[in-house]
Structure 1
Amino acid sequence: MKEFTKKEISFLESLEEARIATAHDNIPHVKPVSYLQHENSIIVATDYNTRTFENIKLNPRTAIVVDIYKSGEHKAVSVQGITEIVENGTEFKKFYTMFYEKFEWVRKEPWGENEAPFLKIIPKNIKSWGLI
């Protein structure tokens, strides 16, 4: 497992949208997601009936990028990792509380254990640029 630097953590904590990439049958799938950085992992909320969730069940290798594009001042953190599915238990409750506190959309449409999972992306490779 790779560790985020302090600058990477600060950058990741300053934003809330990323793009996650998964694959099925060698076909890439990318979509925007809400995320949190927690204890050297990236946590993403998803639903059971999504292509992302189906892909993770078949292939836990995932990439995610968090970035700000501003010409000449592009900043980003790109992560390749292995994803664990968290559907219930203590870890689920911890992630849910964090999402509930940060995101209004969670407070508007709450869910419980085994209703929608979290994806816990454990970094195997981290690249960042533009972070000062």
Structure 2
Amino acid sequence: MIKFTESEIDFLKSIEEARIATSKNNIPHVKPVSFIFYENTIIVATDYNTKSFQNIKTNPHTSIVMDRYVPGSHKAVCIQGQVKIIESGVKFIEFYKIFYEKFQWVRNDPWKENEAPFLQIIPKHHTSWGLS
């Protein structure tokens, strides 16, 4: 299991936007997403009709970067890993409660099990910079 430093964990808990990269047929796709850092994994909410979700279904390998760019003080964590799709059950409910509490957009447009999935990124490698 990948271990994160305390400064990496603090950073990941302090921001809520990331960019996720997926690929299908060797064609990369990158988009911004909301995320949570939870139990040493990254959780992303998505929809069934997104290109990212379609890519993940055929290629579960992904990369995600969480960063804050300030000239001369760039901070980032970049993770490569494998995705588990969570559509229902105990984990779905657990993730949904956290997203509901954290993000206004979830409270404005709620969904139920099997209406939109979560992507749970299991880190296999990571790197960071600007974090001591």
Q: TM-score, normalised by structure 2?
A: 0.98
Once residues 58 and 111 of structure 1 are traced to their aligned partners in structure 2, the CA distance between those partners, rounded to angstroms, is: 24
Q: Which residue of 2 aligns with 1:119?
A: 119
Gap runs ≥5 in structure 2: none
Would you say how many aligned residue pairs link Structure 1 and Structure 2?
Answer: 132
Q: What residue identity is the alignment partner of 2:25? A: D
Shift of 1:70: 1.1
Q: Which residue of 1 aligns with 2:9?
A: 9
Once residues 20 and 74 of structure 1 are traced to their aligned partners in structure 2, the CA distance between those partners, rounded to angstroms, is: 18
Once residues 9 and 85 of structure 1 are traced to their aligned partners in structure 2, the CA distance between those partners, rounded to angstroms, is: 23
Once residues 108 and 13 of structure 1 are traced to their aligned partners in structure 2, the CA distance between those partners, rounded to angstroms, is: 22
Preserved contact between residue 3 and residue 123 of structure 1 (Cα < 8 Å)? no
Q: Which residue of 2 aligns with 1:88?
A: 88
The farther-off stretch of 13-22 and 2-11 is 2-11
Once residues 126 and 48 of structure 1 are traced to their aligned partners in structure 2, the CA distance between those partners, rounded to angstroms, is: 27
| Root mean square deviation of aligned Cα | 0.6
Shift of 1:67: 0.3
Once residues 6 and 82 of structure 1 are traced to their aligned partners in structure 2, the CA distance between those partners, rounded to angstroms, is: 23
Deviations 1:5-64 (A, max 9, x none): 211110000000000000011000000000000000000000000000000000000000
Shift of 1:4: 1.6
The farther-off stretch of 86-95 and 5-14 is 5-14
Percent of aligned positions with the same letter in both sequences? 64
Runs of 4+ deviating beyond 4 Å: none
Once residues 4 and 38 of structure 1 are traced to their aligned partners in structure 2, the CA distance between those partners, rounded to angstroms, is: 12
Q: Which residue of 2 aligns with 1:30?
A: 30
Q: TM-score, normalised by structure 1?
A: 0.98
